Structure 1
Amino acid sequence: MNLPSYIAGEAVHSDQKLEVFYPWDNSLTGTVSKISRADLEQAITTALEGQKNPLSRYDRHAILRKAAQLMAENREEMAKVICRETGLCMRETRYETGRTSDVLEFAAAAALEDDGQVFSCDISPQGKNRKIVTFRQPLQLVSAITPFNHPLNQVAHKVAPAIAAGAPMILKPSEKTPLTAIRFAEIMYEAGLPGWMLSVFVGDLEEIVQPMITDDRVELVSFTGSVEIGKLIASQAGYKKTCLELGGNSPLIILNDADLDKAVTLAAEGSFRNSGQRCTAVKRILVQEGIVEEFTKRFVEKAKEYVSGDPEDPETRVGTVIDENAAIVLEERVKQAEKDGAKVLLGGGRRGALMEPTVIANVPRDTPMVAEESFGPLAPIITIKDLDDAIEYYNSGNFGLSSGIVTNDLQAALKAAKHLRTGTTNINEVPGYRIEKSPFGGIKDSGLGIKEGVNEAMKFMTTTKTFSFPWE
């Protein structure tokens, strides 16, 4: 698969190619042509010029509805591209295409909604016989940078709300997974999206990425990725909006009264789905001391169901992580945890980029596996005294994205929701549960508290304009 970049809907081929490799066997999956600084300038100027003839709400709605239809028709192909870029198993990549369809459908519906307000001015002795009306105006240009995990859905979560809001976008996907983003752009163009509304490309850091962040004509930089890069972007962006969705180190808190079957299932799904490569994945299983022994026994048996191996084998439930270097980091953290006193109960092995689903007990709270975000299928179990202990432990860390609690005690659940310093707390569900329409985002090192999700993203990609007129 040899794909171009797209500048304002036009294919750009170049001699400079970005190569993409299949993590399972390191074979070449495909290439994407890199763009030049002149190409980036063309993308920006065309986007700004195109706004002189904006799309109507209905036009934006129709394009997104058509794109959802095309996504459904191309689902299997897109799932295979994701698999070949990321090494994720087909079970996961097919699921991701379904989520992307939801994003497009919800954005299509949101394009028709109008949250404008009307204020009567004669409600005050100082008022006049006038009306004040509000409406939303799209930003003139949005820059977006997306990560390798969820290479389709993360792209859709930036592109679809921008289209619904009427804001043109220039987007650079991860250099590890650009093929999926390019194919998504082709689907959007096929659905009728004017080229000026979207450019998708790859290019060098200094020539392409930094100007996307610093150019004064860009009014919003939307980034999903690492804490380190996110904070660098914040320092470079200058006087413009930034939406930063960064790392996570999510806990699943399991109290003594929990339904153990539910707890075991949620812990396994949260730890191993998507090869553990989700910012909302379960990274720490915090189990109250009264049930930790029984939970651990059941959890190990459940984890054995998550067969790892060839991502294209239909029996595989856990494919590779993004590359061998990432797997090596995970392997080293497992070995360090063992040195620090933890015990590996299942897995722990690595073959190339394939890291086995791994269950680790007696994990110290300060070992790197849990003190930092470990982006892979690791399931460390930490014993807690009670809910207060869990809350204090989690809140002492740097992250604040998502959390989950398994309990039948309503007061305990509400206490967790109120006191855990996270953007999301899910009760009797994995930390990452959401729908594509609901608000999503974190605090502290997980982000600036700005929410994504279709509706919240649209708000951030627009400004509220007010005008008034006489009302005699």
Structure 2
Amino acid sequence: MLATSYPYYLANKPVYANEDLEITNKFTEEVATRVALADAKVIDQAIAAAEKAQPALNKMAPYQRQKILEHCIEGFKKRFDELAYSLCIEAGKPIKDARGEVTRLIDTFKIAAEESVRINGEVINLEITERAKGYTGMYKHVPIGPCSFISPFNFPLNLAAHKIAPAIAAGCAFVLKPASRTPIGALIIGEILAETDLPEGAFSILPCSRDGADLFTTDERFKLLSFTGSPDVGWQLKAKAGKKPVILELGGNAACVVDEGTDLDDAVERIIFGAYYQSGQSCISVQRVLVHDSLYDDFKARYVSKVEALIHGDPLNEDTFIGPMISQSEAKRLDGWIQSAVAAGANLLCGGQRDGAMLQATVLENVPRDCEAVTEEAFGPVSVISSFSDFDEALRLVDDSQFGLQAGIFTRDIYKAHKAWDTLDVGGVVIGDVPSWRVDNMPYGGVKESGLGREGIRYAIADMTEIRLMVLRTPS
């Protein structure tokens, strides 16, 4: 069960300041709990506390940071069921997906604990010319300083973890703004962090309105901004962020190619998972499916039949695969895109019905290439299928997008696999699986409208640290 109310965390401490933010059960649309909401004054206090805590964090030994991360891992394990339940309620995530996300939360902190004692430097040979004789260089990584984090609603635990865990490993103070629709998971992380020996002010977790959150972007006391969310918001924040580095993990309309010779049983199962898990509300959800002519009719028949059989309903039901979208407004938006595509000549092969925030798993065919269901990020339970005859043309269609996050290529031809890897303008190419596949130690991120920088613990730590060089002269 959820608590009746939740505090925000200011300078490591819970503050039950108010109950201004109502969190709804996304399936029943009833108020499930209430959360304290921070204002601009509180955010300013959090930044000041982070700045004050940073010198103490700089002095923490790697094993001390590792110990904090290991405490969190044990705390997450003890509260596994509570965390999964909170995801079902606040995000409408089916219980099996919710358990998977809690598992990934634990994995992410495990990786960070391992990496926290591997932040190494290097000795550099500087004697490359006669004038450098007797000089040796060496560098180490030092924390960049207080960080600003903004996380999204769709993975409230793990995408927050991909900011929090590397910050602790690197020794950076941080202030996190969780999504106002799904803050509970991040606040439970805060509760567990508050049990540790982190210096006072090392972290704050502050649900707040978008109007009151400008300091997360503009305040110069922050030395880095990491944002995960929509492209429109992300690029606006970057433009306002000033001199600080900005990491953006944004949207996508990921494509998946099914080449001739592919095992269709395997491909259909994986693509259905990639397109419809957690109601398609993932930036690497399969949205565009390109199938070779020789397989297309067989693929379509199998795919549509299995999509129609997906179970919709209460996220707490063990058999549910499709739960509600995050809000009625989002379901209404995507329903409008589906109807617009059909009006433009697309074939509706299944789905296309909405009841409140519940939108049926939908498959479209022959969608005109200028329709929003193709060109924009659907972020919901819809996929668009089409055929191709030439592999090179399929790759061109994958790249015919403003986005470039990940792509999936089902092929048994190693040369085609390498060609896709060499030519596709995306952050990652997944061979033999869907673009929706991710593990938490890999470099993950996109190009074009899909963002800047890479997540994955080791890569995030690199962003959250700076190289500090020492040159040593040995007189002759």
TM-score by length of 2: 0.96
2: CA distance between counterparts of 1:328 and 1:121?
Answer: 62
1: CA distance between counterparts of 2:310 and 2:198?
Answer: 40
Partner of 1:216: 220
- 2:294 maps to which of 290, 295, 317: 290
Residue segments in structure 2 that go unaligned for 5+ positions in a row = none
Partner of 1:117: 122
On the 8 A contact 1:360/1:380 being kept in 2, the answer is yes
On the 8 A contact 2:167/2:174 being kept in 1, the answer is yes
Is 2:182 aligned against 1:182? no
Secondary structure at 2:50 match in 1:
helix
Partner of 1:271: 275
1: CA distance between counterparts of 2:354 and 2:318?
Answer: 21
Secondary structure at 1:468 match in 2:
strand
1: CA distance between counterparts of 2:329 and 2:295?
Answer: 36
TM-score by length of 1: 0.97
Partner of 1:358: 362
2: CA distance between counterparts of 1:136 and 1:101?
Answer: 25
Partner of 1:470: 473
On the 8 A contact 1:259/1:408 being kept in 2, the answer is no
1: CA distance between counterparts of 2:405 and 2:450?
Answer: 5
Distance 1:186 1:70, change over 3 A: same
CA offsets, 1:301-357, max 9 Å, x none?
222342111111111111111011111112112211211222222222111111111
Tell me how large the CA RMSD over aligned residues is: 1.4
2: CA distance between counterparts of 1:299 and 1:471?
Answer: 70
2: CA distance between counterparts of 1:92 and 1:463?
Answer: 36
Distance 1:319 1:195, change over 3 A: farther
Cα distance, 1:16 vs. partner? 5.8
Partner of 2:347: 343
* Identical residues among aligned pairs (%): 34
1: CA distance between counterparts of 2:252 and 2:200?
Answer: 35
CA offsets, 1:134-164, max 9 Å, x none?
0011022100001100010010000000000
CA offsets, 1:104-131, max 9 Å, x none?
0000000000330101333432212122
Partner of 1:21: 24
CA offsets, 1:63-85, max 9 Å, x none?
10111111111111001111100
Secondary structure at 1:51 match in 2:
helix
- 1:401 maps to which of 405, 409, 424: 405
On the 8 A contact 1:68/1:104 being kept in 2, the answer is yes
1: CA distance between counterparts of 2:268 and 2:467?
Answer: 46
1: CA distance between counterparts of 2:303 and 2:225?
Answer: 41
1:188-337 correspondence to structure 2 within 5 Å: 188-207=193-212, 209-337=213-341
Partner of 2:79: 74
Letter of the structure 1 residue corresponding to residue 131 of structure 2: Q
Cα distance, 1:361 vs. partner? 2.3
Secondary structure at 1:405 match in 2:
strand
- 1:107 maps to which of 97, 104, 112: 112
Letter of the structure 2 residue corresponding to residue 26 of structure 1: E
1: CA distance between counterparts of 2:145 and 2:131?
Answer: 36
Cα distance, 1:191 vs. partner? 4.2
Partner of 1:6: 9
2: CA distance between counterparts of 1:413 and 1:226?
Answer: 30
Partner of 1:64: 69
2: CA distance between counterparts of 1:115 and 1:258?
Answer: 43
1: CA distance between counterparts of 2:156 and 2:367?
Answer: 32
Residue segments in structure 1 that go unaligned for 5+ positions in a row = none
Letter of the structure 2 residue corresponding to residue 50 of structure 1: A
